[in-house]
């Protein structure tokens, strides 16, 4: 499995911890930054992650910022991206099963590493259910 990951300065520390966790599971990661806690603009990270998912270079994306709102809003500007803000493992599972989300957005200021690991595991480990949900997902793009 290939995952593209990125964060702004507020999510940098959690991103680095998540990378260690996922590498230990044999997941191939592409990190688009940021590479420090220096202030930067979250769209500069969200857009490349979205592009990696859209062009098939990654199966999923992970975006991390302070609240996860900024990266989710930015990524969702891309047609075909369904970026879900997830702060509980159950929400991540539903984002995949019901919404066919392809990027998980984590709020670094509100979750710890253990929660992030559970959220990511649920996200990448849950298949889209299709059925009645497929019709709804098909109506998302404008």
96: its two tokens:
């995949």
Q: Of 9, 47, 65, 86, which is the active-site residue?
A: 65
Q: What is the dihedral of CA 34, 31, 110, 119, to 10 degrees?
A: 170
Can 9 be counted among the known catalytic residues? Answer: no
Cα–chain center distance at 37? 19
76: its two tokens:
């969702």
Helix H or strand E segment including 117 = helix 113-125
CA distance 105 to 62: 6
- Cβ contact 62:50 at 8 Å: no
SS3 36: coil
Can 65 be counted among the known catalytic residues? Answer: yes
Helix H or strand E segment including 29 = strand 28-31
Q: Which residues are catalytic?
A: 65, 98
């Amino acid at each position: 499995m290939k995952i593209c990951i990125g964060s702004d300065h507020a999510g940098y520390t959690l991103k680095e911890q998540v990378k260690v966790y996922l590498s230990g599971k044999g997941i191939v990661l592409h990190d688009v930054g940021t590479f420090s806690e220096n202030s930067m603009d979250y769209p500069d990270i969200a857009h490349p992650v979205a592009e990696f998912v859209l062009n098939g270079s990654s199966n999923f994306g992970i975006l991390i910022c302070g609240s996860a709102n900024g990266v989710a809003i930015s990524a969702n500007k891309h047609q075909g991206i369904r970026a879900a803000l997830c702060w509980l493992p159950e929400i991540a599972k539903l984002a995949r099963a019901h919404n066919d989300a392809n990027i998980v957005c984590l709020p670094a200021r509100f979750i710890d590493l253990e929660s992030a690991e559970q959220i990511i595991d649920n996200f990448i480990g849950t298949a889209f259910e299709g059925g009645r949900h497929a019709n709804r997902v098909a109506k998302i793009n404008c």
